[in-house]
Structure formats: C-alpha cells, structure tokens
Structure 1
Amino acid sequence: MSDVIATHWPYDGPHSRDSVTSAAGAMAELVRYLNNATGPGNASVTLEWASTIDQLLHGVDRAIGGLDQLLGQLTVALTAQADSASLYDDRRDRPGRDTALAAAAQLRRARRTLQALALDVVHVVDATHHLGNRVPEDGEQS
C-alpha cells in the first residue's frame, strides 16, 4: 500500500495545494473504506483474527500520532494567515484575522484532545499486541 501512496503523494514532493488537499481527501476515503470493511457485514471476515485487529490498531495509532504534527502545522499556518492583509471572512461580519485566530485556538484545544486519544490508543495496542487465536487442528477457523 505504501507504493500506492508514494505514487500519488511522494514524500519528498513535489508538494502543492492540490497534492495536500487530495491527500487529505484520500485519508478521509480510507477511513470510510475501513468503516465499511470492518462493519457488521464484513467483520466476520476482516476481523476474524485478533492479530488483524492489532495490526489495524497499530495503523490507527500511527495515524493519530501523525495528526498531532499536522494539526500543529495547520495551527501555525492559520496564525500566520491572521497577519495577511488579503485575508477576509466571507460572512463579512467579522475580520478574517479574528476568525483565523479563533480557529487556531480551537485547533490547539483539539490537539490536546487528540493527545489524550493517542495515549488511550497506545494502551489499547499494548494490550492487543498480546492477543492471538488458536487454530484448530484441522486448520479451519471456527
């Protein structure tokens, strides 16, 4: 899968507005895929093994860890946008600066919540890493 990602979004770039917004959209689509693939209609196949659940949680853990950095960078960018003379709020009832600074403050709060979530998921992964399933003698999972 990392080859697919590297083909569409090479780590070293080139980077552009389009590449970062399409990557964010792809991230949302991957979560949508996982929600469907692990849902009631598919879980008996996709989540049949405890080791699969553990692998999924490891991926979720890595994603959450990366989101903290991303949200931090977006906070810095919003704060910088607040100083842009071209920035406006399309509601026209407040300065764009105020909206950008309020959004940056909300992102800082969101990061604190995310950090608590990350810690909880680490504890879950610490537990699921020890789980496995015995395979019956005939090799068939029951």
Structure 2
Amino acid sequence: MSAQTGTDLINQAFPLDGPHTADTAIAAAAAIAELWRYLGHATIGGTRDLLADPADVYTVVGLLSDADRRADDVLGRLASYAVNVGDESTYADRFGHYVPDGSPDQIQAGMHQAATELRAAANGHNWSASGLDRAAGWLSDIYRNTTTSDEGAALGEEN
C-alpha cells in the first residue's frame, strides 16, 4: 500500500468538500486516533524489519510532520471556537449552568482556559513538526548514502 492509497482511502471516507458535520468531525478525530493506534501496533516489534529501507522511514517521518502541521491548524481553530463560546452571550445562555446561589457559572473563564490549552496543544504539534522535519533531514542523508555508486560503497559496506 502506498501513501497515495492511504490518502485515497481517507478521501473516500472523508471528502474534503464535505459534508462537514459534527458527526463527520467526530468520526475523523476517531479515525486519527485509530491510525495512531495502528502505527503503535505496527511498531511494537520494532521497526528494523518493518521499515528496513531508509526511504520508508523518511516518508513516514515526513508524513507525520505534515499531520502535525495540520493538527496545529485544526487546534488553533478549535481554540478560536472556545473563545467565541466564552464571549457570546447566546452560548453562555445555551451552555451555562447556575451555581447554587442562582448566578451563572464562569463559562467565559472556562472557555478561555480551554482556548489557552488548545493553543498550547497546537504549539506542541508545531514544535513536534519542526523536530520531525529536522529528523527527516538527518534521515535523508542516510537515504542518499544507502545506494551504491561508482563513488563509494553502500552504507554498512566497506570500501
């Protein structure tokens, strides 16, 4: 199976042009979690045989970097949503609760704190993507050195 096959499978289940609903967004988040679970199971026994070709490792790391950058964007949008929920009285009326003395709870403060945490998570994904990009740079050197040429031996071989 290729990267394009994986992309095609996702595009069949979740077309970019929608429909976009709460149910499809929840299903997409569940699919992401399950794909991480799949990768966890795939790498339980180690990656030496699974990803014997450095080009495969380079590709996986690069795609995970792309995923982190996309997660950064999505989490930023969810943070904006949380701020809007906290700031708009219609949301406070709809989602607010009353404490025992009859006053509304701190919807705004809670949602702003959620937004802060979502932004921190977004920054974490951005930081992770940067690290994955640097790792891919190192892996690309290995990838280039694994092929034989007239100029020298392959990685692990003596001249």
Per the normalisation by structure 2, the TM-score is 0.75
Identity %: 23
Give 1:126's aligned residue. Answer: 137
Q: Which residue of 116, 128, 131 maps to 1:117? A: 128
Q: Which residue of 49, 59, 72 maps to 2:63? A: 59
- Show structure 2 runs of 5+ residues with no match: 1-5, 149-159
RMSD: 2.4
Higher CA-based Rg: 2
- Show structure 1 runs of 5+ residues with no match: 136-142
Distance 2:58 2:7 in 1: 19
Question: Which deviates the most, 22-31 or 98-107?
Answer: 98-107
- Please identify runs of 4+ aligned residues in structure 1 that moved more than 6 A: 89-93
Mapped pair 1:12 → 2:20? no
Contact 2:64-2:129 within 8 A present in 1 as well: no
Count residues in correspondence. 134
Trace 1:1-142 onto structure 2 (pairs within 5 A): 1-40=6-45, 43-82=47-86, 83=88, 84=91, 85-88=93-96, 94-132=105-143, 133=146
Q: Does the residue aligned with 2:94 lie in a helix, a strand or coil? A: coil
Contact 1:65-1:118 within 8 A present in 2 as well: yes
